[in-house]
Amino acid sequence: MGSFVTLVTHASRKTWPIWAVALAVLAWLLCTAWWRPLAVPDEGRYAGVAWEMIRSGDWLTPTLNGLPFFHKPPLFYWLTALSLKTFGLTLWAARLASVFGAWLGAMGLYLLVRRWGGARVAGWSALVLVTQPFWFGGAQYANLDMLVAGCISATIALAAHAVLAREAGQGYRLALWGAYALAGLGLLAKGLIGLVLPGAVIVAWSLLTGRWRAILGLLSLPGLIVLAVVAAPWFVAMQRLYPDFFHYFFIYQHFQRFTQTGFNNMHAWWYYLPLMVGLTLPWVPAWLLTVWGPGPRAGQGASVEAVDAQVLASRSALRWLAWVWMIVILVFFSIPASKLPGYILPALPPLAYLVADTLTQRWPAVSAWAPKVWGAAAALMCLGLIGAAVKYDEQSSRPVLPVLQPLLKQGVPLVYVNEFVYDLPFYLAQPGPIPVISNWDDPDLPKHDNDRKELFDAGEFNPTLAPKVLVPKSQWQAWLCTHPRLAVMAPHDITKSYPELAWQPPVMKLKLWSMWVLDRDDLLAKGLRCQ
What is the number of alpha carbons within 13 Å of residue 237 lying toward its C-beta?
12
Q: Which of 111, 106, 212 is nearest to 166 (CA)?
A: 212
Q: Which of 520, 384, 457 is nearest to 71 (CA)?
A: 457
Given 3-state DSSP classes, what are the helix, strand and coil percentages for the chain, each rounded to the nearest 5?
65, 5, 25
Contacts for 15 with CB less than 8 Å, ≥ 6 apart: none
Instruction: Give CA separation, 446 vs 40, 78, 455, 456, 460, in Å.
Output: 22, 29, 10, 8, 11
| Secondary structure letter of residue 38 according to DSSP | P
pLDDT tens track of the chain, all 531 residues? 544 555 455 544 555 789 999 999 999 999 999 999 999 999 999 999 999 999 999 999 999 999 999 999 999 999 999 999 999 999 999 999 999 999 999 999 999 999 999 998 999 999 999 999 999 999 999 999 999 999 999 999 999 999 999 998 899 999 999 999 999 999 999 999 999 999 999 999 999 999 888 888 899 999 999 999 999 999 999 999 999 999 989 888 777 765 555 555 677 777 888 888 888 888 877 667 656 655 544 344 433 454 556 767 788 999 999 999 999 999 999 988 778 889 999 999 999 999 898 888 766 555 556 667 777 888 888 888 888 877 767 789 999 999 999 999 999 999 999 999 999 999 999 999 999 999 999 888 877 778 889 999 999 999 999 999 999 999 999 999 999 999 999 998 899 999 999 999 999 999 889 999 999 999 999 989 887
Instruction: Give CA separation, 503 vs 343, 508, 513, 527, in Å.
Output: 45, 15, 17, 9
Instruction: Give CA separation, 442 vs 66, 253, 448, in Å.
Output: 22, 22, 11
Q: Assess whether the previous peptide bond of 484 is cis (omega < 30° from 0).
A: no
Distance, CA of 28 to CA of 5 (rounded, Å):
10
Q: Could you tell me how many helices (H) and strands (E) the chain has, helices first?
A: 27, 8
Q: What are phi and psi of 133, to 5 degrees?
A: -55, -30
Beta-bridge partners for 513: 491
Distance, CA of 55 to CA of 40 (rounded, Å):
21
Distance, CA of 95 to CA of 142 (rounded, Å):
5
Amino acid at 97: A
Amino acid at 429: A
312 alpha carbon, distance to own chain's centre: 35
Distance, CA of 110 to CA of 117 (rounded, Å):
10
Contacts for 48 with CB less than 8 Å, ≥ 6 apart: 64, 422, 423, 425, 426
